[in-house]
Amino acid sequence: MSERGAATVLTVAMAGVLLLVGAATGVVGAIVVAHRRAQAAADLSALAAATALVGGGGLDHPGRDPCSAAAEVAEANDAALAGCWVEGREVLVEVRVGGPRWLGQDRDLAAQARAGPDSAAR
């Protein structure tokens, strides 16, 4: 029985495994990047909402609604405002960004952030 071509079969199998591992690594990397984008958008949206809440909406927007300020900043960062809650002098926001649509990953990524005055200033 000849073993001719056995190395070719092994090489093709190993190339397939490496391709699968590479694709999985790419999906994980894309998920991490999307989550970082979501968290940055949530942080910036919460800060904008807290600024609007304390009346610092700026010259163009005096006395803005905190949640509309958060939605505007989220949209500017390619995210969608999924929730906005005002709790006293603090604002909690949740944003969603589109995640990668590879290898069965079909969900959007969400992040939350809270902003308000320093607890020592209360």
Nearest partner of 67 among 91, 96, 40, 90, judged by Cα: 91
| 55-73: pLDDT as tens digits | 765 545 556 789 999 999 9
CA-CA distance, 53 to 61, in Å (whole number)? 12
| End-to-end CA gap in the chain | 85
**Residue range 71-99, pLDDT digits in tens:** 999 999 999 999 999 988 899 999 999 88
Note the pLDDT tens digit of each residue in 23-37: 888 888 888 999 999
pLDDT at 61: 57
Q: Alpha carbon of 71 to those of 21, 83, 104, 110: distances in Å?
A: 38, 9, 29, 14
pLDDT in tens, 101-117: 776 777 889 999 999 87
Please say whether the beta carbons of 78 and 37 come within 8 A: yes
Contact between 106 and 27 under an 8 Å Cβ cutoff? The reply is: no
